[in-house]
Structures are given as structure tokens and as C-alpha cells.
Chain A
Amino acid sequence: MNYGPLIFLGAFFALATSWFGFVLKPQFQVGQLQGTNSVPGNNPYPSGRSGLASQGLEVYRANGCAACHSQQVRQTGTVCDLVLTAPGTNQTALIQALREILPATPDDEIGRLLTGLPKVILSGVNRNEANKADALLKGAKAKTELRIVPIGADIARGWGKRQSVAEDYLYDSTVMLGSLRVGPDLANVGARQPDANWHLRHLYDPRSVVTNSIMPSYRFLFEKPKRTKGLAQGSEAEMVPKREAIALVAYLTSLQSDVSLFNAPYSGAAQPPAPATNAAPAVSGNTNAPAANTSQTNAPAK
């Protein structure tokens, strides 16, 4: 019996379903994605990259940086922190509520909780527990704040404040998520290390800034300045970055995807790292400079 047509049709069907599922459907869903707004703050997000940073993306692509660096922060889940911001008027009721929430804490500790607000009452609990405690405190007329804290190894490592989501890559024309971490994740490298000179030195000789780095040197992105020809011969000619290096650094410093969003929320930084944003935890979504601004200021640095 001739199974030829049957096999052809069957295989055609099999590939077609996968094509509809993994090529066409994401195109309708993610491909139609529009910019969103930060929560809280309601600022438009993402805010495109500057021209120089976009050129830097091309340098990143051309040199295969994605072979070693991923650009995706992963999280395993979220926990809640409950913060007491103001004690309200009914102190006895509040202490009663706090005793109920923290049965293991001695009374004098609870009394101390009311001084120097805001204070974290519960940390790292799940949503239900936090809500229950929140309701008790609110019942005692106290003011509270519920913080959402993403957790996961990447976030604990300081690679980002929340997981990466599709919106972060909306306006990039080559999305290079990477499949291997030989180097650290770069999704937030601009927030982590905004110093353009550090990046330039790192590209020129990685081990001069990170002692045991295994990153290759990218000396070919630098050149000897032409005007030093006339200068004294004995002095070691300094290298200056080529345009590619400046663009690449502008791109790297523009990599900041730490705006709190509806589908990837986080509130403030209850943990010690990131001193800059600690000052105003509740509105940290607003304090992040738009990506374009940072790269603009970095560009003339060199």
C-alpha cells in the first residue's frame, strides 16, 4: 500500500499545528503588545533607547555578546512584606492587633515596634497571611503598606528587582535573551553599573576591574589616538574608544528593566542592596531614570 500521501499530509499537519502554536499565536499575542505604564507612577514604559544606545545594540549583536550573556532575570515567585507606616489613634487596639499577628514576640518588643515608623512587621510571608495581618492592623486604625517582594536566585544576586517580562524588550529590534550565562546577566546592567568609564575599562581589559573575570578583552573596540603622533615618543600612548565602544557602553548603561509593572510588580527594596532606591521605597518605580536619559549623559563622557 502506498502511504506516501498519508505521510505527507500527516507530517504537514504536525508541523502546521506547531507553526500555528509557536509562530503565529505568539505573533498575535506578544506581537501586538503595546507599551504599558509603570505601577505605581503610571509612567509610560518602556521608553525606547537613544540613537547611540540603539547603535550599541548593533555592536552587541555583531560581536555575539549574547553567546555568553543572558538578558533575562528570572524569579521563582513573590512574597509580601507588611509595613506599618503610621500608628493611628487607637494605640491599645494596635498593640492588641500586633500581639495577635506576632504571638511569639514579647510585649516590650511590640512596644518598640511603634517607635521609628515605618517598620516592617511581617516579612517574606505569603499573600494570604499578609492580607490577614493587614486587615487586623487596618481594623486598629493604623496605616500600613503591603510590599511585594520578588524572590529567586537572580534577584538575590542583585541582577534585577523583578523578573523580566515581554514588555521589557518591546522596542528592541534584535532581542537577544541569550541561552548561556558565562558572564553575568545584563538585563539590568545599566542600573547596576551606570558608570560609562567603568564599562570602557572593563571592555578594554576586564581583569583590570574584575580580578578573576574570564571575559575576553575587547581591545579591538579601541584605537590609538591620531593626535599623539606629535607628542613625546617615550610616553605610552593611551587608547581611546572607537565609536563602537562608546555606542556599546551607551547600550549597556541603557539596559535597565527595573520599573514595577502590573504584571511584574515589586514595591521598593526592603533588602539592603541598591542604596539609591532605598530612600523612597514606595515610589521607586518613579525614581528610575528613563533609559534614554542615562545614555544621553553617558555619551559625551568619552
Chain B
Amino acid sequence: MSAVSQIPTPASAQVDSSCRAALLVLLISSGIWLLLASAFGIISSLAFHAPALFADCAALSYGRAKPAGMNAFLYGFCLQAGMGVALWLFAHIGRTRLAHSAMIIVGAALLNLGVTVGVLGILSGDSTGFEILEMPRYAAALLFIGYVLVGAAAAVTLHRRVPGTLSIPHWFLITALFWFPWIYSSANLLLGGPPVRGVTQAVIDWWYANNFQFVWLTLVGLGTAFYFVPRLAKRPVHNLYLAALAFWMLILFGSWGGVPNNSPVPAWLPALSTVGTVLTLVPIIAVAMNMCSTACCGRSENLLPEDKTPFQFILFGLAAFVVAGITNAVTSLIQVSPWTDLTWLVVAKNQLQTYGFFAMVIFGAIYVVVPGFMGERIFCPKLMRWHFRLAVIGIILFVLPLAIGGVVQGTQLQHATTPFADIMKRGVLFLRVSTMGEAFIAMGNLLFVINLVGGVGRHYRAEAVTVYMAATADLHSEGMRS
């Protein structure tokens, strides 16, 4: 550490400019994946409006388009945008330049290549068949190498930080940094290699899916929120001990979840999983209390006008986190799960966690981070506000009908006399409303990407014009002289 401390601290502007290239690559490509994911989501939900629509097109059939969209969203958007924001936080909190930008760009390229190959693989029928891990093995390998390169740069940046700056966000992000490669390699090697036997495959898939959706995304999302909420509200974190408690409880209990009750596995697995999932209520409540106290006190007078919308994004995300987490804990109870397992409620819960919580927090962070490292307010506040409104409407219209539809479906499935096809036919109404939600989310995503790409484009065009003017001015003066 002593060697590091002798290095002079770079100025804030230098930190920002070091982030620019790498983060733009990560964030813009994540935005494009977000749009593609929305497109696939809408295509797949069209199956509930016109079941014969893609009858002749294998690639766009529900069973392929749905996982393709899910993977594009989780690995294309969540993983990349999450890493982008985490890199900025490591550089910014640690007051050091982003290390190895070139390596990050190569890593991001590999990651994007992996997701591209993976999504194409799923569409062409090369899916692995394991939920959330559908991308074929060769794509997973590319993605993994890409992540390792980005993660290594993050680790180096973390190591070069100004000493004594290990804060609460660091705790979450450091853990997330090695959590993903561990679970991803473990699951892919055990499932993609010579596969493990029988239902062990399902157990490993559940373990991975839970660890990715409910631990990794939570770690990155909360790490980001624990930085931005105090920063935007201009107050320190209300209670550091509560934050530490939330962190430890989350990683201890959160990773023990995901095995549904009554599944064909030895009974101790779902039992243990229920215990772990219910205990995650402790960190959820701790986070809720802490964030409420940090954010709500004196919020209006401290908040800068341009920070208002990002702040709303993050607060909405945290609210969704609490609701999703409580739903997850309640539905893991054996008294409740027969009515909720294998229904649309599971989809609603996962969407609330991944989009309602994670994506919203990351949107809020991106709206602060990008103007920061571009050195200019590049976002159009109006588009930003509309993105927020559309996203909130979309999430509510998507999650609520599916949650209600799921409970209705689960209740009706308990009555063996109700024909199955009738139950599903009635459930289609809820699905159609949720397609509307999906459309709103997609519009919001489009505004986000337009805002991001347009803002960055404007910035560079202005820069190019200045450079061009300077160059031509030089030419003109030279021309005049001769």
C-alpha cells in the first residue's frame, strides 16, 4: 500500500477522461442489447395474441425468442452495464485512473461477441436447455473470457485506489467481481461439459439462476445505490452498521436459495433453500430502513435539479428490490408455493428483480455517470423524464397483471375439475395486458438509447467541429500567407 500512496492522486478530470472510451463501449453496447432484448420480448409475447404467427419460422418461435431475449437482457445489458458502472465507481471512489482501458475494450468486444454468438445459437436451436444458461458452451466461453478481462481491469483499478477509501459500495462490488466468474464457470463446466447426472443438472441450474439474479444483480445494484443515494441526497449513509449487516446477511443467506418446493430432488434441498430465502428478509429490511433514512430526510432541498430523475430511478429500483425480495421470500414457503410455483408469478417476480430493481438503479447511475465522465450534461432531461415515466408504467403493467394472473392460475390449478385449457385461456388476458407493459418498457428503453447515443454523438460532433474549425483556421491563415 505504501508504494501506491506515493503515486500522486490524479485530478478528478483525469479520472473522468480515463473512463471515457472504455465505459462508452460498455454502456452503448449494453443499450443496444437492451433494445434487442425488448424486441425479442415483444416477439415472444406475440405468441399469446396470435399463436400461429411464427408457425413457419423456427427462429422466432416462442421457445427460442423468449430465452434469446432473456439472455440478451441479462448478459448483454445487465452484465455489461453493471460492470460499466462498477468500473466507474472503482475509479471514482478510489480517485485513480481506470486501469487498462484497452483491455476493457477488448474484454467488452469479446463479451459482446459471446452474447451475439449465444443469442444466434439460441435462435438457431443450439440452446443448452438450462434456464438463464441457454447460451451454448462456445458462446459462454467467449463471454467468460470477456468478463475476466473486464474484471481484471476492475481489480487493478481497485488495487490502485487511494488508500483508506474502501467504502460500503466497494464491499458489494468487490464481492460481485469474483461472484460471477465463480458461479458462471462452475455452472457451465458442470452442465456444459460431460453433464452431471439426472436432476443434479436442475439443482445446479437453480443454484446458478438464484445466484445470478438474486445475488449478483443485488450486489451490483445495491453497491451502486449505496454510492448514489447518499451522493445525490447529499447525506452520508444513515447507518453504516446496518449496511454492513445487509451485506453479510445477503451473501450468507442469499446464495442458499432457488430450489423450488416439491421438486423431484431430495427434500433437504428445497427445505434449506426456503430457510436461506426467508432469511434474506433480514438484509432486505435492513436496506429498506437504511435507504429510507438516507434518502427521505431533507431530500427536496439538497437535490440538484438535474439529479432529480436519476434519483427517482434509483429510489424506484430500491422499492422494486424490496417488493421482489419479499415476494421471493414469501413464495418460497411451502405453505404458499403450491399456489405460486410454476405460475406466471415467478416470471413477474424475476422481472421485478432484474428490470424493476437492477435495470432502474443502473439507469439512474448511468444518467449521472455519463455526464460526469463526458464533462458535459449530454442527456436531454425531457427524454430522461419520459424514460422514467414509461419505465414505471411499463413495469407496473408488466409485473402486476402477471402476478395477479399467476396467483389466479395457481389457485385454479388446485381445482382438478377446472380444465387446464380453460385456465390458460383465461390467463391469456393477463398476458395480453403484460404485453402492453412490455411495449412501454421497450419505448422507455428506446428513449434511453436515443438519449445516450444522441448525447454522446452530439458531444463528439461538437468536438469534431471545434477541431475542424481549428484545423481549417490554420489552413486558411496558411493559405492567406501564401
What residues of chain A have their CB less than 8 Å away from a CB belonging to chain B? 2-4, 7-8, 10-12, 14-15, 17-19, 21-23, 26-27, 29-33, 60-68, 70, 72, 74-76, 153, 156-158, 163-184, 205-207, 210-220
Contact = CB atoms under 8 A, between A and B. Distances in A.
B48 interface: yes
Contacts of B179: 11, 15
B342 A63 contact: no
Contacts of A212: 421-422, 425
A173 B166 CA distance: 46
B207 A174 contact: no
A237 to B, nearest CB: 15
A75 B261 CA distance: 11
B428 interface: yes
Contact of B338 (A64, A76, A177, A210): A76
Interface of B: 1, 47-48, 51-58, 61-64, 66-67, 122, 125-131, 134, 163-164, 166, 170-171, 174-175, 178-179, 182-183, 186, 190, 195-204, 206-207, 211, 248, 251-252, 255-256, 258-260, 262-266, 269, 272-273, 338, 342-344, 346-347, 409, 413-416, 420-422, 424-425, 428
A298 to B, nearest CB: 22
Given A64-B66, A214-B424, A215-B51, A177 B199 contact: yes
Given A11-B175, A216-B51, A33 B56 contact: no
A241 to B, nearest CB: 14
A220 B63 CA distance: 13
20 contacts: A2-B1, A4-B174, A7-B170, A17-B255, A23-B203, A26-B265, A30-B198, A63-B125, A74-B263, A169-B199, A173-B195, A174-B128, A175-B199, A177-B202, A180-B346, A207-B51, A212-B421, A214-B48, A216-B62, A220-B61
Contact of B199 (A21, A166, A179): A166
A15 B184 CA distance: 13
B172 to A, nearest CB: 9
Contacts of B127: 61-62, 64
B64 to A, nearest CB: 5
A4 B158 CA distance: 10
A64 B67 contact: yes
Interface of A is mostly: loop
Given A15-B211, A26-B204, A213-B421, 17 more contacts: A10-B251, A14-B252, A23-B204, A27-B200, A30-B203, A33-B197, A33-B198, A62-B125, A64-B122, A74-B338, A156-B416, A175-B198, A214-B421, A214-B424, A215-B51, A216-B53, A220-B61
Contacts of A178: 342
Contacts of A205: 52
Contacts of B428: 214
Contact of B346 (A4, A157, A179): A179
Contacts of A169: 198-199, 202, 264
Contacts of B61: 63-64, 216, 218, 220
B171 A206 contact: no
Nearest to B194: A173
Given A12-B178, A180-B346, A183-B424, A19 B186 contact: yes
Contact of A166 (B264, B346, B413): B264
A135 B219 CA distance: 60
B433 to A, nearest CB: 15
A18 B186 contact: no
B296 to A, nearest CB: 28
B424 A15 contact: no
Given A18-B207, A219-B56, A3 B171 contact: yes
A10 B199 CA distance: 30
A70 B420 CA distance: 14
A7 B62 contact: no
Contacts of B196: 27, 31
A10 B252 CA distance: 9
A29 B266 contact: yes
Contacts of A173: 195
A153 B56 contact: no
Contact of A174 (B67, B164, B195): B195
B264 A219 contact: no
A176 B129 contact: yes
Contact of B190 (A23, A74, A176, A216): A23
B198 A170 contact: yes
Nearest to A157: B416
The CB with the most chain B CB atoms within 10 A, among A29, A172, A177, A213, is that of A177
Given A26-B265, A153-B415, A166 B198 contact: yes
B199 A30 contact: yes
Contacts of B263: 72, 74, 177
B63 A67 contact: yes
Contacts of A14: 248, 251-252, 255
A257 B178 CA distance: 41
A26 B200 CA distance: 6
B203 to A, nearest CB: 5
B186 to A, nearest CB: 6
Nearest to B350: A179
Given A26-B203, A166-B264, A179-B346, A63 B425 contact: no
Contacts of A19: 182, 186
